[in-house]
Amino acid sequence: MQDQGYISKDLSFDDEGRQKLIKGITAISKAVKSTLGPRGKTVIIESINHLGGLTVTKDGVTVAKSIDLYDPVENIAVRMVKEAANKTASIAGDGTTTAIVLTEALVCSGIEHMVGDVNATEVIRLIREKVDVIIKRLSKQSRKVTGKRLLDVATISANNDKSLGKLITDTYNEVGLDGIVTVERSQTAETYADITSGIKVDRGYSSPLFINNHKKDECILEDVKILVCDAEINNIMQIETVLKDVIQNGDKLLIIGTCSGNMVNTLAANVVKNGLKFCNVPPPNFGYKQHELMQDIALAVGATYFSEKTGDDLSLILPKDLGSAAKVVAGKDSTVILTGGEVSAECQTRVEELREQQVRTKNKGERDFINTRIASLAGGIGCIYVGGDSDIEQKEKFDRVDDSVCAVRSALQEGIIPGGGLALWRLAPDLEKACDYPEEDIANRILSATLKSPLLQIMENAGLDGDSIMDQPDLIDDTHGFDVKNEKYGDMFKMGVIDPLKVTKNALINAVSVATTILSTNAIVTHARA
C-alpha cells in the first residue's frame, strides 16, 4: 500500500522470520539438489522465454534462476541462495548446485544447534574463521591436471557423457592451455568444435547496461567494428565521424579505450533507448604494458591504434581506421574477441619478434609478460557448437557443455581434488572432536554436517545410504571413496572421480557467506502485500 510517497512495510522477527527463511531455502534447495551427481535427475521448467515454453535441464544455476516464491520473506531466502550460486558460477563457472546444498546444510544445522543461551555471534565468527583453515587444507589436496585427468574433469562435468567430454578435451588440447574455449548453439543437430584466431582482453564492459545476454551477464556483438585508442574519450563529438558511419550502416561498435563517465552513460543510453549495439571495454593494464597490449589488440583486429603517447588526434579517426571481428564476448572481468580465420601474417611476425625478445630478457617478470602477449596473439580460440534433435534437447546439452568447459578451465587454473564430495567429507572428522569451549563445539558440529552434505546428497540421488557406504574398511586413505556411477570403492583419482579445486572452494566460501548472514538475521523488513 502506498500513500503520499510512502510504502507500507511488513516486519518479521526472531524465530518466525528465520522459519520463513528456512522454508524458502528448503524450497529452492529441494528443486536444485536433485540434479547433483552422476545419477541426478533433470528438472522441467516452464519458461515463456524458451521455444516450446519448456526447459529441461540438470544445470543448477538454470533451475535456481527460475525460482521465485510468493511469500516475500521466503523469496528473500531464495534470492540470497541464488546469490551464492551465481557468485560461484561467476568465479568458477560451475558448482552452483554444490553451493546451494552447502548453504541449506549450514543454515539448517545452524538453526538446530544455535539455541538457548548460545552466543550466536561468536559461533558465526568461528565458522568463518574455520572455513579459512578448511580452504587451505583443500588446497593442499590439489593435484595438477594432466593427460587423462583433463578428460575425466570434462566427462564428469558433462554429466558423464564420454563423447562430449572427449570433444571438450580435444578442443582444449588443440587451442593449448593458454587458449580460450567458448560455447555456442549450433544451427544443426550436430555438435562439433571449430578453432579460430582471436585475442583475450583482461578487462570487461565498463557498464552493466551494455549487457545483452542476461543469463551469463555478457555483452555479445557479432560482425563488430572495433576502435582501439588510449586517449580518454570525453564526448561523442571526438569520434563523431566514426559514430555517424557506424549508425548509418547499422554496424556494431566496440570501443577498447578509456571513456569518461559521461561518455559511458551516453553510449549506454543509446543502447537501452535506441537499440544501438555499442560496448566499451577499458584498456588492459597500465603504463608501458598497456601501450604494448593495446598495440597487440589493434594488430589482431586490424585497427589503427590511436595513442596519446605518439601524439595521435582522436578527431582524425576515420571509419577505415576501425578494426573488425567476427564476434566479441565482453564479460564482467574479461573480453574475448574472435577475429575468425587464420592468424594474420602481421601477428605471426609480431609473435616471432616477441619470442626473440623473450630469449634476450633476463627479468622473470618481463619474460612472463612477453609470454602472456605471445599466448594472446598466437593462442587459438575454440568454439564448441552444440546441436540437438529438438530445441529442448539442445538447451539441456548446451548447459552441460557450458558447465564442462568452465570446469575444465577451473581445473587447469587451480588443479583437482577427489570428487563426489569426498574431499569435503574427509575434513569433517577433525571437526567432530569434543571441545571445552561450547561455541567452538557448536561451530564444529555445524561445519561437520555442512561438509558431509554434498556427498550424502549425491548418494541419496543414487538411492544409496551415504553413511553406511562411507563406514567401510575399504577406504584406506583420503583419496579413497565410492564411485557412485559404477558402484565400487577405490582411489578417486585413478577412477576419474574428481572435482576442480576452484569450484569446490568457491562453492564453500559463497555458501558460508550467505548462510552465516541468514543465521545472524533477527529482523526482516519487506514491502507489505495487499
CATH number at residue 244: 3.50.7.10
- 429 in the same domain as 448: yes
Phi, psi for 57 (deg, rounded to 5): -150, 160
- 128 in the same domain as 41: yes
Q: What CATH number corresponds to the domain at position 184?
A: 3.30.260.10
- 312 in the same domain as 182: no
How confident is the model at residue 52, as a pLDDT?
A: 63
- 314 in the same domain as 287: yes
User: Is 353 contained in some domain?
Assistant: no
Q: How far apart are CA 49 and CA 502, in angstroms?
A: 32
**pLDDT tens, position by position, 235-283:** 889 999 999 999 999 999 999 999 999 999 999 999 999 999 999 999 9
**pLDDT tens, position by position, 103-129:** 999 999 998 888 878 898 999 999 999
Q: Determine the average pLDDT of the residues in 517-530.
A: 72
Q: What CATH number corresponds to the domain at position 445?
A: 1.10.560.10
What distance lies between CA 522 and its chain's CA centroid?
32
User: Is 203 contained in some domain?
Assistant: yes
How confident is the model at residue 163, as a pLDDT?
A: 92
Buried b (16+ CB within 10 A) or exposed e, 3-16: eeeeeeeeebeeee
User: Is 352 contained in some domain?
Assistant: no
Which domain-ending residue is among 278, 310, 341? 341
Please count the structural domains in the chain. 3
- Of residues 119, 142, 109, 22, the one with CA closest to residue 504: 142
User: Is 15 contained in some domain?
Assistant: yes
One DSSP character per residue, 256-294 reads: ES-B-HHHHHHHHHHHHHH---EEEEPPSS-HHHHHHHH
- 208 in the same domain as 158: no
User: Is 162 contained in some domain?
Assistant: yes
- 402 in the same domain as 318: no
- Of residues 32, 325, 94, 47, the one with CA closest to residue 200: 325
- 394 in the same domain as 294: no
- 407 in the same domain as 521: no
User: Is 469 contained in some domain?
Assistant: yes
Q: What pTM was estimated for this model as a whole?
A: 0.68
**pLDDT tens, position by position, 20-59:** 888 888 889 888 998 898 888 888 888 766 556 778 877 7
- 203 in the same domain as 323: yes
Note whether 441 and 434 are within 8 A (CB): yes
User: Is 366 contained in some domain?
Assistant: no
User: Is 512 contained in some domain?
Assistant: yes
Which domain-ending residue is among 414, 437, 464? 414
Residue 499 makes CB contacts below 8 A (sequence gap 6+) with 156, 416, 417, 418, 419, 420, 423
How confident is the model at residue 48, as a pLDDT?
A: 65
Q: Which residue has the cell 538453526?
A: 111
How confident is the model at residue 450, as a pLDDT?
A: 94
- At residue 456 the predicted structure's pLDDT band, cuts being 50, 70 and 90, is very high
Looking at the predicted structure, is the pLDDT value of residue 2 above 70? no
Q: How far apart are CA 446 and CA 145, in angstroms?
A: 32
- 422 in the same domain as 392: no
- 237 in the same domain as 217: yes
- At residue 202 the predicted structure's pLDDT band, cuts being 50, 70 and 90, is confident
- 150 in the same domain as 137: no
- Of residues 471, 462, 481, 337, the one with CA closest to residue 418: 481
Helical axes 14-33 vs 72-92, angle rounded to 10°: 50
Give the residue numbers spanning the domain of 387.
Answer: 144-190+380-414
Which domain-ending residue is among 324, 341, 358? 341
- Residue 44 three-state SS: strand
Where is 177: in which H helix or E strand? none
- At residue 1 the predicted structure's pLDDT band, cuts being 50, 70 and 90, is very low
pLDDT, greater one: 87 or 249: 249
Q: Which amino acid type is present at position 282?
A: P
